[in-house]
Amino acid sequence: MTATDDIQDAEPDIDDPGDPPMPERVAALIREQILEDRLKPGMPVRERILAKALGVSRTPLREALKILSVEGLVDLTPRRGAVVAAPSPKEQRELLQLLGAIEGFAGTLACDAITEDAMKELRATHYEMLAAIMRGDRLTYFRHNQAIHRGIVEATGNGVLIAYHRQINLRLYRVRYVVNLRTERWESAIAEHEAILDALQAGDKPRIRTILEMHVLAAFDQMERDGKGDAPPTARP
């Protein structure tokens, strides 16, 4: 199955001249395909074919690829085109470390900046997450889990922090998704989340920072131990 077969049945064209520039719209579409795992890591992205599939020319598509390249979602090698980025375990761990550091720092800022309402919303999301666990709905659990982390960062009101957190999260989305799906450490994850929210409410900055920095890596190291069961890269020529 080629990269294009996966995307063939997407919107045939996107000629809607809405506000956002076309390259960014194209980038968003490809991003989506990557996140949904329809474009799998290591899979080559063929310009002509994908451009035709999306109903755009090669020019905006190439610009979209440049965007995704800087974002770290695709690897652009000089004369060999673009392949969906397949972070090595080492790189995954580095990204998770950075993610943890950013969230930890955001936590300390959020201790001062978070509003009552936002705090309540986080608690509410936490309960929804618990509900999803009860139902064994791993996808919903994952979504709420992400929402909580995102919520903490957004509570800082630091737009730059939010943007970079989002970007790094994108690069890890697939990994984290797989991890969250396979890992059985729900109980400890829940405990950590509760500790995070408590520390946030109490304004205990060192504590929330420590927990958040460790929390993200925990699931990864769990996976490493399991033997990183993951779909192999390099799908096909």
Partner DNA sequence: TCAGGGTTCATGGTATGCCATATGGCCCGC
Partner DNA sequence: GCGGGCCATATGGCATACCATGAACCCTGA
Q: Which one of DNA, a copy of itself, none is in contact with 17 (Cβ closer than 5 to 8 A by kind)?
A: DNA
Q: Is the dihedral of CA 116, 118, 123, 124 positive or negative?
A: positive
For residue 26, the minimal CB distance to DNA (Å) is: 9
Site string for a copy of itself, 206-235 (x = CB under 8 A): -------x----------------------
For residue 33, the minimal CB distance to DNA (Å) is: 15
Token pair belonging to 118: 């936002």
Sheet strands side by side (includes 81-84): 44-45, 81-84, 74-77
Q: Which one of a copy of itself, DNA, none is in contact with 56 (Cβ closer than 5 to 8 A by kind)?
A: DNA
Q: Which one of a copy of itself, DNA, none is in contact with 128 (Cβ closer than 5 to 8 A by kind)?
A: none
**What are the residue ranges of helices labelled H in 47-137?**
47-54, 58-71, 89-113, 116-134
Under the criterion CB under 7 A, does residue 18 sit at the interface with DNA? no
Question: Contact 7/53 with Cβ under 8 angstroms?
Answer: yes
Nearest C-alpha neighbor of 103 from the set 220, 200, 201: 200
Under the criterion CB under 7 A, does residue 56 sit at the interface with DNA? yes
Identified binder of DNA from the candidate list 10, 42, 47, 146, rule CB under 7 A = 47
Nearest C-alpha neighbor of 166 from the set 179, 152, 178: 152
Under the criterion CB under 8 A, does residue 63 sit at the interface with a copy of itself? yes
DSSP character for 234? -
- Which span (69-77, 134-142, 183-191, 227-235) binds a copy of itself, by CB under 8 A? 69-77
DSSP character for 88? -
Token pair belonging to 30: 């490809």
Token pair belonging to 113: 């900046």
Under the criterion CB under 7 A, does residue 72 sit at the interface with DNA? no
Under the criterion CB under 8 A, does residue 97 sit at the interface with a copy of itself? yes
Nearest residue (CB) to DNA, 80 versus 90: 80
Identified binder of a copy of itself from the candidate list 15, 78, 117, 225, rule CB under 8 A = 78
Q: Which one of DNA, a copy of itself, none is in contact with 195 (Cβ closer than 5 to 8 A by kind)?
A: none
Nearest-angstrom CA–CA distance, 48 and 63 = 13
Residue type, 156: T
Under the criterion CB under 7 A, does residue 69 sit at the interface with DNA? no
Query: Which residues are near DNA by CB under 7 A?
Result: 17, 21-23, 44-49, 55-60, 62-63, 76, 78-82, 237
